[in-house]
C-alpha cells in the first residue's frame, strides 16, 4: 500500500493536520517489532496495551500512530491520529483500502478445509488474475483488515479466509469485505464448545452471506443437509459441490496415494485432476476451489495444472523427513474431531515397510462433551494398521482409556502437555528410518515442538 497520511486521516474521519500530505505511509502494523520504515503503527489492546510500544515502533521506522482517546495524552514526537477504538479504526482503514483497490472478493469459511481451499482457490485464480490471499491464518478481526491493507495496487482478486468462534463474527467480517463469492467448505464440530450443536454452527457459518453482494455467488457443500436447508432462503446464484451426484460439481473416480490424490469431476469428464496432498477428504476442498474457478470462467485445463502445482500452507497434511529418515505427516496447524478422523483414515492407508505411529494432541474448544468426543476417535485407530499411539494432553486421557482394550501398554502412551520432552524422547527411541509418523493436535498444545525435535535431532 501507499497512501498519504492525510488520506488515511480522512478515511478515519479525522481532520488532517498541516504537513500530513507530505507524509507517505507504505505499510501498517500492530507489532512494533515488525514495523517498517514508512509504517503506520496501530496500538491494539489485548494481553498487552500496544500504546506502551509506540516509542519502539517509532524507533523501528513508524511515521505515524493511532492513539485511543481514552488514553492519557502523551508527547510522542510523532504524528498521532486520535481514534475511539484502534481495532475498529484498523477495520475501517482496511475496508477503505479494499474499496479503493476494488478487487473482486472471494471469502471462504468452514469448520475444516478453509485454509487449504483458500490456497487452492488462489492458485486457480492466479492463472488469470493478480491475486492476493490471506497469509497464514490471518482470518479474524485483526487479520482480515491487515490482509486487505497488504494488497498490491494491481490486485484483481482478493481470496480471504474468514474464521469464527462466536456468533456475529462472520457477520462483521463478511460486511467488512463484501464478497462477490462466499464459500462454506463444510460444517463440523470445531468450536462446538461455544455453539452447542452443529445446527448452531451452521447458523453462524451462514453469516458469511450477510455481506454478499446482491449478484454474488454462494458456493457450499451440497452433501451437508444443514447447508442445503439454509440455502433455500433465496440466496442466489448458488453452486454446490460434493461427492453426491446431485451436486453441480461432484467428484468421481477418487484414488488416493501416499502424497497425491487423483479424481475426476462430473462437469469436466475429460480431465484428470491431481492434488499434491494425502487424503481423499481434500478432494472436497478442491471441488470448492474449482467451483470458484468456474464462476470466474477459468479454463478447466488451467485449473487442473494449478491444483497439480499447488503449494499448501505449512503444517497442513505436509510430509516431511525426520532426522532418522522416517516420513512424518505434519498436521499440527490445528485439530478437531472431523479432521482427525479423516487424517487417520488417510494415514492408515499409506503403504510402508515399517511401522505407522500416531501422535495426537488435545482437540480444544469442544465443551462439556470433550471427553466423549475424544474417546469417539478410538474406532478410527486400527491396531492392525497403527503400531503405536502417543497421546498428549488432559483430554486425550479419555482416548487413552478407550484404546486400552485395543493396544498393549507398550504401544499406548499418554503424556501431560508439559511432558512433550519425554514424549519426544520415547518416540525417538522407537522410530526407525522406514517408519511413518503422523502428528496432529490443536495449535494450543504446541505439537510443533515435537515435530521440530524429530526433524532436527
Long-range contacts of 200-204 (CB under 8 A, 24+ apart): 200/167, 201/111, 202/226, 202/227, 202/230, 203/167, 203/230, 204/164, 204/166, 204/167, 204/169, 204/170
- To the question of whether residue 110 is assigned a binding role by annotation, the answer is yes
What DSSP assignment string belongs to 141-171? TTHHHHHHHT--TT--EEEEE---SSTTHHH
Q: Rounded to whole angstroms, how far apart are CA atoms 430 and 337?
A: 27
- Beta bridge partner(s), residue 363: none
Residues 6+ apart with CB under 8 A from 135: 147, 150
- To the question of whether residue 112 is assigned a binding role by annotation, the answer is yes
- Taking Cα atoms as reference points, which of 130, 201, 191 lies closest to residue 165? 191
What is the DSSP code (8-state) at residue 451?
Answer: H
- To the question of whether residue 111 is assigned a binding role by annotation, the answer is yes
For 76, the 3-state DSSP assignment is: coil
What DSSP assignment string belongs to 240-282? EEESSTTSSEEEEEEEE-SS-EEEEETTEEEEEEEESSS-TTH
Greatest distance between any 2 Cα atoms in the chain = 76
For 360, the 3-state DSSP assignment is: strand
Q: Rounded to whole angstroms, how far apart are CA atoms 192 and 336?
A: 10
**Where do the DSSP E strands lie in 372-431?**
388-392, 412-415
- To the question of whether residue 24 is assigned a binding role by annotation, the answer is no
Contact 235, 212 (CB under 8 A): yes
- To the question of whether residue 114 is assigned a binding role by annotation, the answer is yes
Q: Rounded to whole angstroms, how far apart are CA atoms 413 and 208?
A: 41
Contact 435, 354 (CB under 8 A): yes
C-alpha cell, 8: 488515511
Q: Binding site residues for ATP, as ranges?
A: 110-116
Q: Binding site residues, as ranges?
A: 110-116
Amino acid at each position: 500500500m501507499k497512501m498519504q497520511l492525510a488520506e488515511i486521516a480522512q478515511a478515519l474521519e479525522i481532520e488532517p493536520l498541516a504537513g500530513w500530505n507530505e507524509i507517505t505511509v507504505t505499510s501498517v502494523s500492530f507489532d512494533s517489532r515488525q514495523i517498517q520504515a514508512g509504517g503506520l503503527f496501530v496500538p491494539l489492546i489485548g494481553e498487552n496495551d500496544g500504546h506502551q510500544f509506540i516509542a519502539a515502533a517509532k524507533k523501528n521506522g513508524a511515521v505515524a500512530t493511532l492513539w485511543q482517546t481514552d488514553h492519557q495524552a502523551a508527547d510522542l514526537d510523532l504524528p498521532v491520529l486520535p481514534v475511539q477504538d484502534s481495532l475498529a479504526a484498523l477495520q475501517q482503514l482496511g475496508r477503505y483500502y479494499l474499496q479503493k483497490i476494488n478487487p473482486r472478493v472471494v471469502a471462504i469459511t468452514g469448520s475444516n478445509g478453509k485454509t487449504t481451499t483458500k490456497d487452492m482457490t488462489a492458485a486457480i485464480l492466479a492463472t488469470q488474475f493478480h491475486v492476493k490471499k490471506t497469509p497464514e491464518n490471518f482470518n479474524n478481526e485483526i487479520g482480515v483488515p491487515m490482509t486487505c491493507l497488504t494488497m498490491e495496487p494491481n490486485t484483481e482478486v482478493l481470496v480471504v479466509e474468514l474464521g469464527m468462534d462466536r456468533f456475529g463474527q462472520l457477520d462483521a467480517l463478511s460486511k467488512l469485505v463484501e464478497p462477490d463469492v462466499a464459500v462454506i467448505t463444510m460444517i463440523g464440530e470445531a468450536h462446538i464448545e461455544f455453539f452447542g450443536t452443529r445446527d448452531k454452527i451452521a447458523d453462524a457459518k451462514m453469516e458469511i452471506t450477510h455481506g454478499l453482494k446482491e449478484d454474488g455467488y454462494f458456493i457450499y457443500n451440497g452433501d451437508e443437509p444443514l447447508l442445503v436447508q439454509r440455502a433455500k432462503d433465496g440466496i442466489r446464484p448458488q453452486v454446490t459441490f460434493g461427492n453426491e451426484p446431485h451436486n453441480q460439481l461432484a467428484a468421481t473416480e477418487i484414488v488416493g496415494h501416499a502424497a497425491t490424490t487423483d479424481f475426476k469431476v462430473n462437469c469436466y469428464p475429460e480431465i484428470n485432476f491431481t492434488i499434491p496432498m494425502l487424503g481423499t477428504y481434500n478432494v472436497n476442498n478442491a471441488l470448492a476451489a474449482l467451483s470458484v474457478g468456474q464462476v470466474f470462467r477459468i479454463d478447466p485445463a488451467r485449473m487442473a495444472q494449478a491444483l497439480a502445482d499447488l503449494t499448501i500452507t505449512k503444517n497442513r497434511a505436509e510430509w516431511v523427513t525426520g532426522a532418522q529418515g522416517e516420513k512424518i505427516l505434519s498436521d499440527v496447524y490445528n485439530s478437531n474431531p472431523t479432521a482427525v478422523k479423516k487424517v487417520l483414515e488417510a494415514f492408515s492407508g499409506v503403504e510402508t515397510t515399517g511401522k505407522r505411529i500416531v501422535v495426537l494432541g488435545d482437540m480444544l474448544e469442544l465443551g462439556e462433551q470433550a471427553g466423549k468426543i475424544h474417546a469417539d476417535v478410538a474406532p478410527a485407530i486400527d491396531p492392525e494398521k497403527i503400531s503405536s499411539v502417543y497421546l498428549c494432553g488432559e483430554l486425550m486421557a479419555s482416548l487413552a482409556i478407550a484404546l486400552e482394550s485395543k493396544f498393549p501398554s507398550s504401544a499406548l502412551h499418554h503424556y501431560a502437555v508439559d511432558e512433550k520432552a519425554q514424549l519426544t524422547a520415547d518416540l525417538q527411541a522407537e522410530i526407525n528410518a522406514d517408519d511413518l509418523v503422523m502428528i496432529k493436535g490443536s495449535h494450543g498444545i504446541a505439537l510443533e515442538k515435537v515435530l521440530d525435535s524429530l526433524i532436527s535431532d
